[in-house]
Amino acid sequence: MIEIKQVSKSFEKIEAVKDIDLTIRSQNIFGMLGTNGAGKSTLLRMMAGILKPQQGEIVIDGQNVWDNTDVKKRCFYISDDQFFFPNATAKDMATFYGRYYSKFDYTRFDEMMNKFGLDGTRKIQTYSKGMKKQLSILIGLCANVSYLFCDETFDGLDPVMRQGIKSIFAKEIDERELTPIIASHNLRELEDICDHIGLLHKGGVLLSKELADLKCNMHKVQCVFPEDAKVSLYKLFHILQLNQKGRLVTMTVRENEEDIAGKMEGLNPVYHEVLPLSLEEIFISETEVVGYDIKNLIY
């Protein structure tokens, strides 16, 4: 389990992360969403022990991660911008990481390289962006760590490769209790694979919930009321967004479907329909509440 306790981090005058409290359970795929500059990468680097928090602490399995070699051996960080030594081959990098991760599985690494169609003797500088990302993921998996910190893991991978990586993650969770933490802007990918979602904005956490609970407690409602009806929707519903075109009212509400149905029954609408929200729609709704609105960008 990872416990993030009142963690803050600044770079000169830029406050990247501010007073974050977050708990990540083991054997869960944790999806980290966020607006641009929300502090996702900074938080991942602190969780991996690469950066030191200026305030607070990050505890992994009961131990503080900073300057703790034993904890760091259980973690592997995959950066969005991978670094490999100049002129190194994939096998060279596997050998390098194997010196630091005592459980590194060289046999499995060779097998997975063959399955992914990657030449381990070829210089990495000749790899494409997607091939480099595949290599980083394979090295992280073969290091046999408990926690895999992934920054934009699926960026640069084709659809078949993305599905393959998701399947491997699921298998690793089941067989050896891997816990992947994935920061991404690709909400569709996270929606497919994650158990828990954390949403960051301007260095803080807007919400942290099980994905199933998040989707069950937020809906889009479309409704039409009689012309002479006087309805105070804001008094009845927890409304995040409301639009009206003619008599059709469309609103995003933070309510479960059963409560919505009960309240609508008492209003006697001509028509109403409750629709589920995608993770992308939830992201937009939650960030609009705190002023991150597309209208501010285009008008």
Answer yes or no: is pLDDT of 297 > 70: no
pLDDT of residue 112: 93
Average pLDDT, the chain: 88
Q: Mean pLDDT over residues 262-279, rounded?
A: 89
pLDDT of residue 189: 76
pLDDT band per the 50, 70, 90 thresholds, residue 289? low
Q: Mean pLDDT over residues 221-231, rounded?
A: 87
Q: Look-up: residue for tokens 């012309």? A: 227
Question: How far apart (Å, rounded) are the C-alpha atoms in residues 18 and 9?
Answer: 7
What whole-number percentage of the chain has pLDDT above 90?
49
Q: Look-up: residue for tokens 């600044």? A: 10
Return phi, psi of residue 156, to 5°. 95, -5
Answer yes or no: is pLDDT of 295 > 80: no
- Is the backbone of residue 37 left (phi > 0), alpha (psi -120 to 50) or beta? left
Of 78-82, 178-182, 236-240, the range with the lowest mean pLDDT is 78-82
Q: HEC string of the chain?
A: CEEEEEEEEEECCEEEEEEEEEEECCCCCEEEEECCCCCHHHHHHHHCCCCCCCEEEEEECCEECCCCHHHHCCEEEECCCCCCCCCCEHHHHHHHHHHHCCCCCHHHHHHHHHHCCCCCCCEHHHCCHHHHHHHHHHHHHHCCCCEEEEECCCCCCCHHHHHHHHHHHHHHHHHHCCEEEEECCCHHHHHHHCCEEEEEECCEEEEEEEHHHHHHCCEEEEEECCCCCCCCHHHHCCEEEEEEECCEEEEEECCCHHHHHHHHHHHCCCEEEEEECCHHHHHHHHHHHCCCCHHHHHC
Top-confidence residue, 129 or 156: 129
Amino acid of residue 52? K
Answer yes or no: is pLDDT of 188 > 80: no
pTM across the whole model: 0.82
| Residues 94-150: tens digit of each pLDDT | 999 999 999 999 999 999 999 999 999 999 999 998 899 999 999 999 999 999 999
pLDDT of residue 290: 63
Q: CA-based Rg of the chain, rounded to a whole angstrom?
A: 23
Q: Mean pLDDT over residues 148-163, rounded?
A: 86
Ordered by where they begin, the domains of the chain are 2-210 (3.40.50.300), 214-298 (3.30.70)
Answer yes or no: is pLDDT of 176 > 50: yes
